[in-house]
Chains A and B, each alone.
Chain A
Amino acid sequence: MKDWREDKTFFRATIALPVIWFFIFFVIPMAIVWAYSVGENVGPVDVAITGTFANYAKAFAPEVLKVMGDSIWLAALTTLICLVVAFPVALAMTFADDKQKTWLLLLIMLPFWTNLLIRTYALIAVMRTSGVINTGLEGLHGLLMTVGLPLGSFEPLPLLYNKFAVVVGLVYVHLPFMVLPLYAALDRLDKSLIEASLDLGAGHLETIRRVIVPLAAPGIAAGLVITFIPALGAYLTPDLLGGPDDLMIASLIERQFKRANDWPFGAALSFILMYITLLFFAVRAFLERKGGKVGAH
């Protein structure tokens, strides 16, 4: 009998199905969309593949560039806030005992398993003019008035349908993407390194800055990329929580395929989004290679 390592047919058979799957459901549709992106509308429904780059050129129109710019900085801000919020959470999880760890992990994952639409509407219920926050504030306002503070009439805070709402929603949705890689990186860290730092006279903040962050850098980089990319392509959250002026790329793409009925332009925008995404992956890979000597151990 042949050595099982020599017998390649088994491995070929196991890999065949994923490869076929990948072609039918990824490569072929992407190829079709790419073909559309170099096509032209020749009727209400018909698209002719003419090899034009006019659709890509259209993406450089100021109003389109503004949407892209907004998308990038909203996603970047979201990623940054996620990092600031998630780092202490992940650190706390690392130092919790096993039972607490399970519960904290569940707490992080629970929203993740809830339908996005439900979560977004729940957020609307909290933030709208007659929502939980504003009603609470109004009550507090009334209370302060009755004790004699001259506050004037109550103005509900404009929490919804603006960029603030979009960022809050994006942070809420993407927090687990940041917590999990950070937790994975911090949990792997040898705890005696932290104790050694304290033992040598460093305070807690110094220890975080000089030991924990440098050693968790690969995890932080992973968290940044993993959070930024879906935040950049987010559709439902900015669409429901943002105002008319707070479009992000995904909403713009959706409009081309639906209302504007301009499939070639929508396809071109989709590919631009993908190129931006790939660019960030490339940056990460580059940084990782550069810092690999430090981070790998």
Chain B
Amino acid sequence: MSDRDTIIRVEEVTKRYGKVTAVDRVTLEIPRGEFFALLGPSGCGKTTLLRMLAGFEMPTEGKIFIDGVDMSSIPPNKRPVNMVFQSYAVFPHMTVFENVAYGLKFDNVPKSEQYGRVMAALADVKLDHLAERKPDQMSGGQRQRVALARALVKKPKVLLLDEPLSALDAKLREAMRFELAELQDKVGITFVMVTHDQDEALAMACRCAVMDRGKLMQTATPSNLYEFPANKFVADFIGSVNLFEGTLQVDLPDHAIVHSEELGGQIYFDHGVSGASGEKMWVGIRPEKIELLKREEGSNPPTPEDAPPGCNVAAGTIRQISYLGSESIYEIDLINDRRMQVSRPNLSRWDQEDFTWGDDVWLRWHGDSPVLLQS
């Protein structure tokens, strides 16, 4: 990627607080105009990384470039970025209008121009009718909009958002997801959002960086994170997954076979994988990529009809069913007592009754479904 298209470049950045390493050698590039999410469990260092972008924390090691400029010696009030704080940090002693106008004073925007820009920013967040309100007369969602308008009115190169939806109630959170994504589309400013909620990140972001214990695990589009996770952590953190430990036995250009004690058999891949033969690895299979078929009691092994070429098959018994409306989650015990999760969409209104507790089933998944994970 050329420098022209990269708005933020994080180079080998480490941040230590005494003995705690909050951010550990993170290297990252964020393209201009993208909705980017920093995703990871609580305490993984997302906020610390975001605060380093804003300038509230300085990297212990490494460098941050914003629009090609080294930020090492640039204080927060001189950076071309603005932040929406997790607590919103709306000034309680100012009206909504004054809050939004606050940052314009320091950009030497003439007074005559300020009014128009503030009202336009308030209109963008649908708050123009509340310009004279004081923040203590507003709901949390409205205060968040004030914080958004206050940052956007400055036309920053990057907008930083720390857990923007975490303090909202469930209904509003859903609505705000779309609204934030729409707003980003409209203003065209690069958004960098921190969140611990994978649904949120996948739904809103063009690309996500997944972090764990200060380290960057993978940066990819939401679908690539889900379908091609780089390691066990990402596979497990994004969505749910059935993970099996195994060793690579056959590694050919057109197919591969992993032997797994845990699964009690072999897992067939209909494509080549890159890995050293005999090494310990993990195989991940997503619950929705597994088919359930009725199995005659005691029928073992499967008939050729149950297991066409290129498919993997395992025998099990249904232990639990969680009915979730649009789909059901089946917890299935394999013959060796290892548990697997399978999800099925409830395609027909009568569908759910096909399988019930205690049913013997075949689990079948295609050779292109499992992913091989080296770490």
Interface residues of A (CB under 8 A from B): 190, 192-193, 195-203, 206, 210-211, 214-215, 293-294, 297
Contacts and interface: CB of A to CB of B under 8 A. Distances in A.
Contacts of B147: 196
Contact of A198 (B76, B93, B154): B76
A201 B156 CA distance: 11
Contact of B82 (A190, A192, A193, A200): A200
Q: By DSSP majority rule, is chain A's interface helix, strand, loop, or mixed?
A: helix
A202 B106 contact: yes
Contacts of A294: 92-93
A297 B92 contact: yes
Interface stretch (B83-91, B187-195, B216-224): B83-91
B76 A195 contact: yes
Contacts of A206: 106
Nearest to B103: A200
Nearest to A214: B93
Contact of B89 (A190, A202, A293): A190
B130 to A, nearest CB: 17
B72 interface: no
B342 to A, nearest CB: 45
Given A196-B83, A201-B103, A215 B89 contact: no
Given A192-B85, A297-B136, A198 B75 contact: yes
A203 B75 CA distance: 9
B191 to A, nearest CB: 15
B87 A190 contact: yes
Contact of A196 (B78, B89, B105, B134): B89
A195 B85 contact: yes
A5 to B, nearest CB: 31
Contacts of A211: 91
Contacts of A190: 87, 89
A193 B91 contact: yes
A202 B76 CA distance: 9
B102 interface: yes
Nearest to A204: B77
Which 8 pairs between the two chains have the least Cβ-Cβ distance?
A: A201-B106, A200-B103, A196-B89, A192-B89, A198-B76, A297-B92, A192-B85, A214-B93
B332 to A, nearest CB: 48
Contact of B106 (A192, A196, A200): A200
A55 to B, nearest CB: 47
A198 B76 CA distance: 6
A198 B91 contact: no
Interface in B29-76: 54, 56, 75-76
A195 B56 contact: yes
B157 interface: no
Contacts of B105: 201-202
B162 to A, nearest CB: 9
Nearest to B106: A201
B63 to A, nearest CB: 21
B213 to A, nearest CB: 24
- Residue in B77, B105, B136 with the greatest tally of chain A CB atoms within 10 Å: B77
B93 A195 contact: no
B150 interface: yes
